């Protein structure tokens, strides 16, 4: 979409930012490519050729500027980018400015220079090379790979809980499995279900069925705290670091023999949120009343486990219980263009698809993907007529339920 002279002058007055870069038009082609790649790997943006760093207009001087720009985008960017180009004339007397604009890319783009590829991202007013963690998240956002299918260094089949695996396939999925000592048969089964890849056990495999997930993935847990008041404080009624595989161990009657991470979290919430008892009939008995509906808190915990960014290795999921609310903080931004508003309408997208599928197999989630509007919003409305809050705050996502 073309911009007017007035709009361009306003952009220049506002200065460089996350989506605007000023450049002289005598820059090298790989320097232009660097800025456009950084914008495409972020949220899109524009390079204004013929504008100095301080916002003064020097104008364009290069012959066949449009052809030079398009050639740079074809030869110096991989995959190639076709930008939107326009030349605005006489921004100041005798001075033209070229606008080169790119949208957010569907792929991760690189600058091809000196026979090697270089990645760049936009951070504020700077275009710089990403850290390994930032690059991993970028590929994840673009669908280039799934972190949950990465092999876990050092993990082998011996690090999986064979009881839970056998329970999952025979009892939950109702399918035949190899004999216990048929290692090749089990490897084939785990490979076909993405619990295992050629290089070893996957992140999802360890999270779902690992004997000790935190041995390999320190972030694979829930940091749970129950506070006395409405603010975080050193004083608390209970603090617990919840660890273990996500899945439970079930018996033939579908009863839980060993709790998984979800049941541990639910038990923590239950013992720290039971409301004051109510007088039963005849005044002789008190009935415990839960402060939150089970459907809402289960969906909240399951959502955090499914959607968290496991590339962020320095922090657990945070479960906080206050006197007036319950909060669950999941590390990482929402995946694949999802927003809190879209979640409220039932929009379905998962960062960790295998974990989502297994949670659905255990009936923690429904097939429709309507867990947030049906199980969180609706059940809280029916329970105490409150509206849950869904908040994306930087590198974390918060679900807040009110007592």
Per-residue pLDDT of the chain in tens (403 residues, 90 and over written 9) = 688 999 999 999 999 999 999 999 899 999 999 999 999 999 899 999 999 999 999 999 999 999 999 999 999 999 899 899 999 999 999 999 999 999 988 788 999 998 889 999 999 999 999 988 788 778 777 765 678 888 898 899 999 999 999 999 999 999 999 999 999 999 999 999 999 988 889 999 999 999 999 999 988 999 999 999 999 988 899 999 999 999 999 998 889 999 999 999 999 999 998 754 444 455 444 556 789 999 999 999 998 998 888 877 778 999 999 999 999 999 987 776 677 887 787 666 677 889 999 999 999 886 566 788 888 999 999 999 999 999 988 888 999 999 9
- Please state, in angstroms and as integers, the Cα–Cα distance from residue 231 to each residue in 121, 226, 321, following that order: 37, 10, 10
pLDDT of residue 279: 45
Q: What is the CA radius of gyration of the chain?
A: 27
What Å distances lie between residue 139 and 12, 119, 338, 356, 385, CA to CA?
Answer: 32, 11, 16, 20, 41
Angle at 341 between CA 316 and CA 292, to 5 degrees: 55
Q: What is the Cα–Cα distance from 397 to 381, expressed in whole angstroms?
A: 21
**pTM score > 0.85 for this model?**
no
Residues whose CB falls within 8 Å of the CB of residue 281, separated by 6 or more in sequence, listed in order:
none
The pLDDT assigned to 277 comes to: 47
Residue-level pLDDT at 286: 54
- pLDDT of amino acid 337: 67
Number of Cβ atoms within 10 Å of the Cβ of 208: 27
pLDDT reported for residue 248: 96
Task: For residue 136, give the nearest of 332, 271, 287 by alpha carbon.
Answer: 332
Residue 166 and residue 186: Cα distance in Å, rounded? 10
Q: Residues in the chain, how many?
A: 403
> Could you tell me the domains of the chain?
5-141 (3.30.950.30), 148-214 (no CATH), 217-402 (3.30.565.60)
Distance separating alpha carbons of residues 119 and 113, to the nearest angstrom: 11
């Amino acid at each position: 979409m073309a911009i007017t002279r007035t709009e361009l002058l306003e952009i220049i007055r506002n200065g460089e930012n996350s989506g605007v870069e000023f450049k002289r038009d005598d820059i090298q082609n790989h320097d232009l490519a660097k800025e456009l790649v950084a914008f495409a790997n972020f949220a899109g943006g524009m390079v204004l050729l013929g504008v100095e760093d301080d916002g003064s207009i020097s104008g364009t001087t290069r012959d066949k500027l449009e052809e030079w720009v398009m050639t740079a985008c074809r030869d110096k960017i991989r995959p190639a980018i076709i930008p939107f180009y326009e030349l605005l004339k006489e921004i100041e007397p005798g001075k033209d400015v070229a606008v080169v604009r790119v949208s957010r890319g569907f792929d991760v783009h690189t600058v091809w220079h000196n026979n090697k590829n270089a990645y760049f991202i936009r951070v504020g007013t700077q275009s710089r090379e990403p850290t390994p963690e930032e690059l991993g998240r970028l590929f994840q956002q673009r669908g280039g790979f799934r972190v949950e299918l990465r092999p876990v260094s050092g993990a082998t089949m011996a690090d999986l809980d064979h009881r839970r695996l056998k329970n999952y396939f025979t009892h939950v999925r109702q399918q035949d499995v190899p004999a216990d000592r048929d290692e090749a048969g089990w490897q084939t089964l785990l490979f076909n279900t993405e619990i295992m890849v050629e290089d070893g056990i996957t992140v999802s495999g360890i999270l779902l069925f690992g004997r000790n997930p935190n041995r390999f993935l320190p972030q694979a847990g829930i940091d749970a705290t129950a506070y006395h008041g409405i603010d975080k404080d050193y004083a608390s009624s209970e603090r617990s670091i919840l660890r273990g595989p996500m899945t439970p161990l079930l018996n033939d009657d579908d009863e839980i023999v060993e709790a998984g991470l979800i049941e541990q979290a639910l038990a923590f919430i239950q013992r720290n949120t039971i409301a004051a008892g109510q007088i039963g009939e005849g005044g002789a008995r008190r009935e415990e009343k839960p402060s939150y509906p089970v459907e809402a808190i289960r969906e909240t915990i399951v959502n955090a486990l499914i959607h968290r960014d496991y590339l962020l290795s320095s922090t657990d999921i945070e479960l906080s219980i206050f006197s007036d609310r319950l909060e669950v903080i999941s590390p990482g931004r929402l995946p694949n263009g999802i927003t809190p508003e879209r979640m409220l309408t039932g929009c379905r997208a998962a960062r960790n698809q295998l974990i989502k599928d297994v949670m659905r197999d255990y009936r923690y989630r429904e097939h429709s993907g309507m867990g947030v509007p049906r199980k969180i919003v609706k059940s809280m409305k029916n329970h105490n007529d409150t509206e849950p809050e869904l908040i994306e705050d930087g590198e974390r996502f918060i679900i807040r339920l009110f007592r």
